[in-house]
Amino acid sequence: MIIGVPQEIKTHEYRVALTPWGARALTRAGHKVLVQAGAGAGSGMPDEDYAAGGAAIVTGAEELWQRAEMILKVKEPQPVEVQRARPGQVLFTYFHFAADRELTLGLRDSGAHCFAYETLEVDGHLPLLTPMSEVAGRMAVQEGARFLERPFGGSGVLLSGLPGVEPGQVLILGGGTVGTNAAWIAAGMGARVTILDIDLERLRHLEEVMPDNVTTVYSTEEAIEERLDRTDLLIGAVLIPGARTPRLVRREHLSRMRPGSVIVDVAVDQGGCVETCRPTTHEEPTFVVDGVVHYCVANMPGAVARTSTFGLTNATLPWILRLAALGPKRAVEGDPALRTAANILGGHITHPAVAAAFDLPAEAPEEAAAALA
């Protein structure tokens, strides 16, 4: 198969869908890899490294989209890319279709086959979402610590404390992938960490594996409220799959927090677990409400592009290899995990949640695949 890797064009997106090592693995498997010139630059991966891995460097995005039978990306296709997609072409990327009607209809009408990283499911897990949650969780503490610094508008608390000075307090709402990764980093810095969750099994597991400066607490409104006056950094990491994030911290709660305390609401992409949260960008990551600094960047991993690109390719490469070997029809018919990734096939929406989001008809992926050549 001819596999194309364009440069990402969304503002402040520095990741790329494939590392040079990934390009080598694909060429070794007999595929032809086309990489747009400069596609890896934002992740510190120069064209020469891709060429050394057997990829051909293509100058323009237009030519790459025309020649490639499968396009690998990171972010959802932007309007100009939707126009480039053509019938029978396979697109493998994060789409988040349910959030964007225009994108859904544009790609349905393009006749391309859209396989989404975010819905690929194995044993109830979403393995292509996990690495980005790991990055965001780890980064949440790094960014929180930065914005606690006085010059950035923070209260001037050093999370580790000092000999003779108490460490900072970190409150984490949600002990899933983001919350666990945040807790590891905050605990490693020496902060006092509390994780709240409603899943008792999860809390049991965390209690066993976390160091002594991490406490687990069952999540209730009262449990959150009574801790806010001691919280220097609050991290929002709650997820209820398929639903809007519950608003666990309301505006009236903010006055309980010390001025300059910081909220990093990682769950902003699902609406956020803090009422006053609204999406921000890396250009202007924070805003202040009632004296509390809010960091609500919706694509946190884009800022640590190099690490994120490695993390993403580690997770996607086995599936890219499988999809390229099978092609879209056999992938849907014979591979249950790739079938869960199929969101649109040749003009038909094949993921029930995407169809439901816009009140459109859904076709079973197997049926849509049966009609493919």
Ligand X SMILES: NC(=O)c1ccc[n+]([C@@H]2O[C@H](COP(=O)([O-])OP(=O)(O)OC[C@H]3O[C@@H](n4cnc5c(N)ncnc54)[C@H](O)[C@@H]3O)[C@@H](O)[C@H]2O)c1
Interface residues toward ligand X, by CB under 6 A: 132-133, 136, 173-179, 196-199, 202, 219, 237-240, 245-246, 248, 266-270, 298-301
Q: Give the nearest distance from C-beta 173 to ligand X in angstroms.
A: 5
The yes-or-no answer on residue 96 being catalytic is: yes
Closest CB to ligand X among 66 and 281? 281
Q: Which helix (H) or strand (E) holds 114?
A: strand 113-116
Whole-number minimum distance, CB 357 to ligand X, in Å? 16
- Minimum CB separation of residue 37 from ligand X in Å reads 28
Q: Which residue is nearest to ligand X (CB)?
A: 176
For residue 359 the two structure tokens come to 């009140």
What is the nearest approach in angstroms of ligand X to the Cβ of residue 355? 21
* Nearest one of 120, 128, 179 to 312, comparing CA atoms: 128
Other Cβ atoms closer than 10 A to 45 = 22
Query: Which CB atom, from 43 or from 110, has the smaller least distance to ligand X?
Result: 43
Q: What number of CA atoms fall less than 13 Å from residue 121's CA on the CB side? A: 10
* Least distance in angstroms from the C-beta of 238 to ligand X: 4
Long-range contacts of 122-128 (CB under 8 A, 24+ apart): 122/337, 127/315, 128/312, 128/315, 128/316, 128/319
C-alpha closest to that of 41 among 312, 306, 307? 306
Nearer to ligand X, 106 or 176 (CB): 176
Location of structure tokens 């697109």? 91
Catalytic residue among 12, 49, 96, 205: 96
Nearer to ligand X, 36 or 119 (CB): 119
Q: Which of 269, 294, 348, 351 is catalytic?
A: 269
The least CB distance from residue 249 to ligand X, in Å, is 11
Do residues 107 and 77 touch, judged by C-beta distance below 8 A?
A: yes
Note whether 86 and 98 are within 8 A (CB): no
Comparison of 6 and 175: residue with beta carbon closer to ligand X: 175
Q: Are 153 and 147 in contact (CB under 8 A)?
A: yes
Minimum separation from the CB atom of position 341 to ligand X (A): 17
Spatial neighbors of 164 by CB under 8 A, at least 6 apart, are none
Inter-residue contact 54 to 24 (CB < 8 Å): yes
Which distant-in-sequence residues (6+ apart) come within 8 Å of 356 by Cβ? Answer: 362
Structure tokens at 3: 């596999």
The phi-psi region of residue 251 (left if phi > 0; otherwise alpha if psi is between -120 and 50; otherwise beta) is alpha
Nearer to ligand X, 197 or 363 (CB): 197
Q: Identify which of residues 88 and 279 has a Cβ nearer to ligand X in the complex.
A: 279
Vertex 300, ends 46 and 293: CA angle to 5°?
140
339: left (phi over 0), alpha (psi -120 to 50) or beta: alpha
Residue positions annotated with a catalytic role: 96, 269
